[in-house]
Chain A
Amino acid sequence: MAEELLVGLEIHQQLAIPTKLFCACPPVKSEEFPGKFERRLRPAQSETGHLDPAALFEYSKGKSDLYLWNPESSCLVEADEEPPHPLSAEGLEAALLVAATLKSNCIDEVHVMRKIVIDGSNTGGFQRTAVVGLGGSFDADGERVGVQSITLEEDAARNLGEDGGSRRFALDRLGVALVEIALEPVRGDSAHVGAVALQLGRVLRSTGKAARGLGTIRQDMNVSLGGGRVVEVKGVQKLNLIPKVVEYERRRQSMLRAVAAKLRAKGVRKVACRSMDVTATMARTASPVIKGLVAQGGAVRCISARGLAGLLGWEPEPGVRLGKELAEVARAGSLGGVIHSDEFEKQGVTGPEADALRNAMGCSVEDGLVLVAGRPDSVERVIPVLVSRLEAATEGVPEETRAPTDAGETRYMRPRPGSQRMYPETDIPDIPVPGPLRARVAKAVPEDWESTVRTLESRYSLSSDMALKVYDSDLAAEFVRACGKLRLEPSFVASTLVDLPARLTREGVPEAWCSLPALMAALEAVDGGKAAKEAVPEILRSAGEMGVSVGELLASTGREVLDEAHVAAVVEAVVSRESALIAERGDAAFSPLMGEVMKELRGKADGSLVARMLHQKVSEAAKNAGRSG
């Protein structure tokens, strides 16, 4: 019987307000960064003098952080060089509106907290965050989904990747207002979880306070299998990844539980581990990977793990192995991976070498061996993490924080943060939520999103499918505005705004070429008689290829719609030029000739008009030539 999967979603939605949460900077994305500075974050102690495991892990990597900034998008507050300004009143009101819309109970006095995060993504080493609502619910996929809490918080700096020993971040996104909605765990399959996330997104958009664009909404997922430990998957940006991530985690957690069950069956209660330096033993190894690392001055350490032989490379479910987990831990610690005894042969570690290692380690063939090679300090740091990961094999799923990959798998990031990482933001006084503000928020709660979709359907005669697509695309406001301004069929406007970009990107057109301003300009051109409906895709492609705006393109190439006389002239010219073809094939010459004519007219004439004229002319010519279809 399949074990029950529980998924607690945490949705982070950027809020559409004019400033960041704790300063007056606008929430805009910068492309250039004239300023930079470098910092090193240290773990902060808890009240008992102990350190958060996640914080310690990040610090142990010994990395410094390089922050890039632009005055158009950040100030001294983001640089942690100035105390935060008071919490944005608009941000608070927007978060309260989200809370009210989700029927959450509004907190009477908001306390801003510091959540310790030292992966470098916050210059202060913490994220400012405050609970504004507790409880609540919404309906999705035929079920009532519970809300645990709603928090108002600042977004993290934008990760620009790593450069040697230093992580690079852009400060433009740091401090942007986010609302986090933590849902009660939902039971069910991966599709159900995806449906819940989609539905919540619709509810959020109905408030009008959700910011738009890629990266403005991110999901964290707390996934646990069969009541086991919780694994946090951070930062799923696209909704369609959710079902894949859930499915991958199901397989991965099943594998870990299966490994634990096998160990139990073998009578291994504790995976005792030993580690030692085997650089000398492996000096003349045949393994190309290890040979290369040792040649660069690297160290090799070997960990023996009791009873794990055969279980490191075991794949009870497709694509998941304990060995892969270990490699991820090594990679999170800046190493290339690990080589374990189940794949020694594949990796070029010979039988005699394995025997020598077993001898040196004093372990049996029942035990697993894990080789780690690389820079000595990196190897040193990773060993304890690998050992604790191996020791946890008897317990099944370890608590940890993981990141999604583009393919919808997950990879190890760091241990799960402890509960000791939250303390008050002493720079921000507590904020009472006054009665008049509550009343204003209660009044602003939007009609439910389904009524909005029904309105789109009835007022603009859209199919229910198209109305929903318009709503989900988050372009309902633009659609309504365009329909009010332009004398075009609403269904044409809707399909241009919603379907066309999807179709073109499927055909390999870059997303940027189908931007909203480009689409609107194309619609206006059609409305103004400057382009034919059929020409819109071609206009977007040409403008993109030439790197100009749609307006510039139309101005420079004179893509005005030709009147009938012009069209007739072009058609006649083609027909007379191709008289031989018509004589030979009669009416059947229509198709190739249509292509010819459209090539000459593309974008300047309505396709149906051309077809009608051409049909007529081809028939006439065929008759004259004494042939008829």
Chain B
Amino acid sequence: MGDLPGYKGRALRFLQAAKASIGDMLEVRTKWGVVTGTLVPRYLYGDGDHVVLKLKSGYNVGLGLDGLDGAAVKAKGEKPSFSPPPPPKSPERLPRVALLGTGGTIASRIDYRTGAVKPAMSESELHSLVPELSGAAKVEAEVMFDILSENVAPRHWGKMAKRVVRAVDEGVDGVVITHGTDTLGYTAAALSFALAGVPVPVVLVGAQRSPDRPSSDAPLNLVAAVSVAGTAKFSGVYVAMHLGESDDKIAFHRGTRVRKNHTSRRDAFVSVGVPLAAVWGRGGLEYVSEGLPPRGGSFSPRPAFAPGAALLKFYPSMPPGAVRSARRLGARIIVVEGTGLGHVSGDVAKELGLFVKSGGVACMTSQCIGGRVDLNVYETGRDLLQAGVVPLDDMLAETALAKAMWVLGTGAKGDRAREMMVHDVAGETTARTFPG
């Protein structure tokens, strides 16, 4: 497609005949008159029957090939270059914060010509998006990868964990990881296990609105994440996102107890079954929960993950073959999201029993999200216990899956793996459930 991205079919031939390239000023002759504008790329899924011009007013319009008589290039276009102003110098005595980019909405900016969203993670780009950062910390930014969070896999968790360990070794005061929000909760849980005991705050941060919009939640989330990572008295892995609809407070959630509970709101993330770890306002931390680990201390990370775990959500009429399929696909630990207190149908329970007998580890969580599983209350539960299914108390299903991949990454299997799944490592289970 050369320099006519997105164009295909008739539209591509029409533009090739006119020797036009993206960015050229074109005069297109239509049945009703001449339209002058800059040729802009077409979206991937656009049809091959329209040519898109950006008018002088800035508007884009699509002109149908059926109504076009021809086109002439009036002036060759110049590619705009992105040259943000240089970042201001941070005072030397500010805390050092490593900012690791992994992709997602938060670290993107729009390409005005194409409308595409591009990564924006260079230091100068970040500072030009969020000038306040320079007052919060000395930020050392690095793009690790640029992937949408639905493409994040255990190997990425491993890389992130290792990079954090290196940053801690290098003496940073805190680490911030920018991440897409879709699987932010999974990654936060995974890093909580791999980095258990980390002596500095590690804050994962995302955005529900991209930074190309004036209303983006990214700047405030980022400022809060960086400032808390650099100065908080506590350590551990957290997720920082808007507390409500307003641009005033940022909630810090514990990495193993956090869940994305809304598709689009700024305050999509909630802490399940535990209070918020901390709340940041424009003046700094306004609330810090009791019992957070202090900064410092020894640290023996285990930053390896292995696939080989599966998450099965039970549903009415689920065929027992689903368990066999998971096993065939290599699952050595299966986390089940059961109904209510942790139940599945008799058929599926039987199949889980066979999986356990064959050396697999089957764990039970609840699709209720709130509350804990209890396999002693109903007969089905007792059958599951009998079959060797391990109840995971009030552990979130997503956290359990990340933990299973971490357990497998340590090389544990069988009874050892079963034990590790139950033993609390990073606050993934709680002893008490509170009203409200």
Min CB–CB distance A601 → chain B (angstroms): 61
| Assembled-state Cα–Cα distance A96/B403 (Å) | 56
User: Which residue of B is nearest A426, CB measured?
Assistant: B115
> Which residues on the A side are within 8 Å of B213 (C-beta)?
44, 80, 114, 124-126
Q: Is B216 an interface residue (CB 8 A)?
A: yes
Bin the interface of chain A by size.
35 or more
> Which residues on the A side are within 8 Å of B33 (C-beta)?
105, 134-135
With A41-B215, A135-B33 already in contact, the answer to whether A47 and B82 are too (CB < 8 A) is yes
Q: Is A42 an interface residue (CB 8 A)?
A: yes
Contact with A108, one of B62, B214, B220 (Cβ below 8 angstroms): B62
Q: Assess whether B265 is in contact with A422, with CB atoms less than 8 Å apart.
A: no
> Which residues on the A side are within 8 Å of B246 (C-beta)?
37-39
> Which residues on the B side are within 8 Å of A130 (C-beta)?
59
User: Which residue of A is nearest B125, CB measured?
Assistant: A49
With A109-B62, A423-B115, A424-B60 already in contact, the answer to whether A76 and B247 are too (CB < 8 A) is no
With A47-B112, A108-B50 already in contact, the answer to whether A125 and B214 are too (CB < 8 A) is yes
Q: Assess whether B84 is in contact with A135, with CB atoms less than 8 Å apart.
A: no
Min CB–CB distance A46 → chain B (angstroms): 6
> Which residues on the B side are within 8 Å of A55 (C-beta)?
214
| Assembled-state Cα–Cα distance A200/B47 (Å) | 36
Q: Is B244 an interface residue (CB 8 A)?
A: yes
Q: Assess whether A80 is in contact with B209, with CB atoms less than 8 Å apart.
A: yes
Contact with B212, one of A44, A49, A149 (Cβ below 8 angstroms): A44
> Which residues on the A side are within 8 Å of B244 (C-beta)?
37
Q: Is A402 an interface residue (CB 8 A)?
A: no
Q: Assess whether A49 is in contact with B67, with CB atoms less than 8 Å apart.
A: no
Min CB–CB distance A80 → chain B (angstroms): 5
Q: Assess whether B247 is in contact with A39, with CB atoms less than 8 Å apart.
A: yes
Min CB–CB distance B137 → chain A (angstroms): 19
With A124-B213, A126-B214 already in contact, the answer to whether A45 and B61 are too (CB < 8 A) is no
Contact with B128, one of A47, A49, A126 (Cβ below 8 angstroms): A49
| Assembled-state Cα–Cα distance A502/B30 (Å) | 49
> Which residues on the B side are within 8 Å of A429 (C-beta)?
43, 45
User: Which residue of A is nearest B54, CB measured?
Assistant: A422
| Assembled-state Cα–Cα distance A46/B264 (Å) | 25
| Assembled-state Cα–Cα distance A437/B45 (Å) | 22
Q: Assess whether A42 is in contact with B45, with CB atoms less than 8 Å apart.
A: no
Which of A24-32, A115-123, A542-550, A614-622 sits within the interface?
Answer: A115-123
With A47-B113, A113-B59 already in contact, the answer to whether A37 and B245 are too (CB < 8 A) is yes
Q: Assess whether B63 is in contact with A422, with CB atoms less than 8 Å apart.
A: no
> Which residues on the A side are within 8 Å of B58 (C-beta)?
113, 115, 419-423
Contact with A45, one of B47, B128, B209, B264 (Cβ below 8 angstroms): B128
| Assembled-state Cα–Cα distance A131/B264 (Å) | 28
| Assembled-state Cα–Cα distance A281/B322 (Å) | 84
> Which residues on the B side are within 8 Å of A123 (C-beta)?
215
Min CB–CB distance B160 → chain A (angstroms): 28
> Which residues on the B side are within 8 Å of A46 (C-beta)?
112
> Which residues on the A side are within 8 Å of B208 (C-beta)?
81
| Assembled-state Cα–Cα distance A420/B58 (Å) | 7
Bin the interface of chain B by size.
35 or more
Min CB–CB distance A553 → chain B (angstroms): 45
Q: Is B354 an interface residue (CB 8 A)?
A: no
With A45-B128, A109-B64, A126-B213 already in contact, the answer to whether A424 and B46 are too (CB < 8 A) is no
With A116-B214, A131-B55 already in contact, the answer to whether A110 and B80 are too (CB < 8 A) is no
With A37-B246, A42-B216, A149-B57 already in contact, the answer to whether A134 and B264 are too (CB < 8 A) is no
> Which residues on the A side are within 8 Å of B59 (C-beta)?
111, 113, 129-131, 149, 151, 422
With A45-B129, A419-B56 already in contact, the answer to whether A131 and B61 are too (CB < 8 A) is yes
| In the complex, chain B residues 168-216 whose Cβ is within 8 Å of any chain A Cβ | 208-209, 211-216
> Which residues on the A side are within 8 Å of B116 (C-beta)?
426
With A43-B214, A430-B46 already in contact, the answer to whether A134 and B115 are too (CB < 8 A) is no
User: Which residue of B is nearest A115, CB measured?
Assistant: B58
With A42-B216, A45-B129, A125-B215 already in contact, the answer to whether A76 and B264 are too (CB < 8 A) is yes
| Assembled-state Cα–Cα distance A114/B50 (Å) | 21
| Assembled-state Cα–Cα distance A40/B132 (Å) | 14
Q: Is A107 an interface residue (CB 8 A)?
A: yes
Q: Assess whether B61 is in contact with A109, with CB atoms less than 8 Å apart.
A: yes
Q: Is A70 an interface residue (CB 8 A)?
A: no
Min CB–CB distance B197 → chain A (angstroms): 37
| Assembled-state Cα–Cα distance A37/B215 (Å) | 13
Q: Assess whether A79 is in contact with B245, with CB atoms less than 8 Å apart.
A: yes
> Which residues on the B side are within 8 Å of A421 (C-beta)?
58
> Which residues on the A side are within 8 Å of B248 (C-beta)?
38
User: Which residue of A is nearest B65, CB measured?
Assistant: A108
| Assembled-state Cα–Cα distance A129/B57 (Å) | 12
Chain B: interface secondary structure? loop
Q: Assess whether B62 is in contact with A432, with CB atoms less than 8 Å apart.
A: yes
> Which residues on the A side are within 8 Å of B245 (C-beta)?
37, 79, 81
Min CB–CB distance A566 → chain B (angstroms): 65
Q: Is A48 an interface residue (CB 8 A)?
A: yes
Min CB–CB distance A76 → chain B (angstroms): 7
> Which residues on the A side are within 8 Å of B434 (C-beta)?
none
| Assembled-state Cα–Cα distance A432/B61 (Å) | 10
User: Which residue of B is nearest A425, CB measured?
Assistant: B115
With A40-B247, A131-B61 already in contact, the answer to whether A82 and B112 are too (CB < 8 A) is no
Q: Is B81 an interface residue (CB 8 A)?
A: yes
Q: Is B288 an interface residue (CB 8 A)?
A: no
Q: Assess whether B115 is in contact with A48, with CB atoms less than 8 Å apart.
A: no
Q: Is A64 an interface residue (CB 8 A)?
A: yes
Q: Is A558 an interface residue (CB 8 A)?
A: no
Q: Assess whether B32 is in contact with A135, with CB atoms less than 8 Å apart.
A: yes
Q: Is B368 an interface residue (CB 8 A)?
A: no
Q: Is B312 an interface residue (CB 8 A)?
A: no
Min CB–CB distance A52 → chain B (angstroms): 10
With A109-B50, A429-B43 already in contact, the answer to whether A124 and B62 are too (CB < 8 A) is no
> Which residues on the B side are within 8 Å of A215 (C-beta)?
none
Q: Assess whether B214 is in contact with A48, with CB atoms less than 8 Å apart.
A: no
Q: Assess whether B115 is in contact with A41, with CB atoms less than 8 Å apart.
A: no
Q: Assess whether A49 is in contact with B62, with CB atoms less than 8 Å apart.
A: no
> Which residues on the A side are within 8 Å of B49 (C-beta)?
432
Q: Assess whether A107 is in contact with B61, with CB atoms less than 8 Å apart.
A: yes
Q: Assess whether B247 is in contact with A82, with CB atoms less than 8 Å apart.
A: no
Q: Is B422 an interface residue (CB 8 A)?
A: no
Q: Is B219 an interface residue (CB 8 A)?
A: yes
Min CB–CB distance A100 → chain B (angstroms): 13
User: Which residue of B is nearest A423, CB measured?
Assistant: B112
Q: Assess whether A423 is in contact with B83, with CB atoms less than 8 Å apart.
A: no
> Which residues on the A side are within 8 Å of B112 (C-beta)?
46-47, 420, 423
| In the complex, chain A residues 38-84 whose Cβ is within 8 Å of any chain B Cβ | 38-49, 55, 64, 76, 79-83
Query: 0/1 per residue, A81-117, Cβ < 8 Å to B?
Result: 1110000000000000000000001011111011110
| Assembled-state Cα–Cα distance A123/B213 (Å) | 10
> Which residues on the B side are within 8 Å of A41 (C-beta)?
214-215
User: Which residue of A is nearest B130, CB measured?
Assistant: A42
Query: 0/1 per residue, A360-372, Cβ < 8 Å to B?
Result: 0000000000000
User: Which residue of A is nearest B245, CB measured?
Assistant: A37
| Assembled-state Cα–Cα distance A124/B46 (Å) | 26
Q: Of residues B83, B112, B209, which shows the largest number of chain A Cβ atoms within 10 Å of its Cβ?
A: B112
| Assembled-state Cα–Cα distance A130/B111 (Å) | 19
Min CB–CB distance A401 → chain B (angstroms): 16
| In the complex, chain A residues 414-438 whose Cβ is within 8 Å of any chain B Cβ | 419-424, 426, 429-430, 432
Query: 0/1 per residue, A116-148, Cβ < 8 Å to B?
Result: 101000011110011100110000000000000
| Assembled-state Cα–Cα distance A586/B28 (Å) | 89
Given contacts A47-B110, A111-B52, 8 further A-B contacts (CB under 8 A): A37-B245, A41-B215, A80-B209, A109-B62, A419-B56, A419-B57, A421-B58, A430-B52
A-B contact pairs, 11 of them (CB 8 A): A38-B247, A42-B219, A44-B212, A48-B83, A109-B52, A109-B63, A110-B62, A149-B59, A420-B58, A422-B59, A426-B117
Task: Across the A-B interface, give the 8 residue pairs with the lowest CB-CB distance, nearest first.
Answer: A125-B214, A109-B62, A422-B58, A108-B64, A424-B115, A47-B112, A49-B84, A111-B60
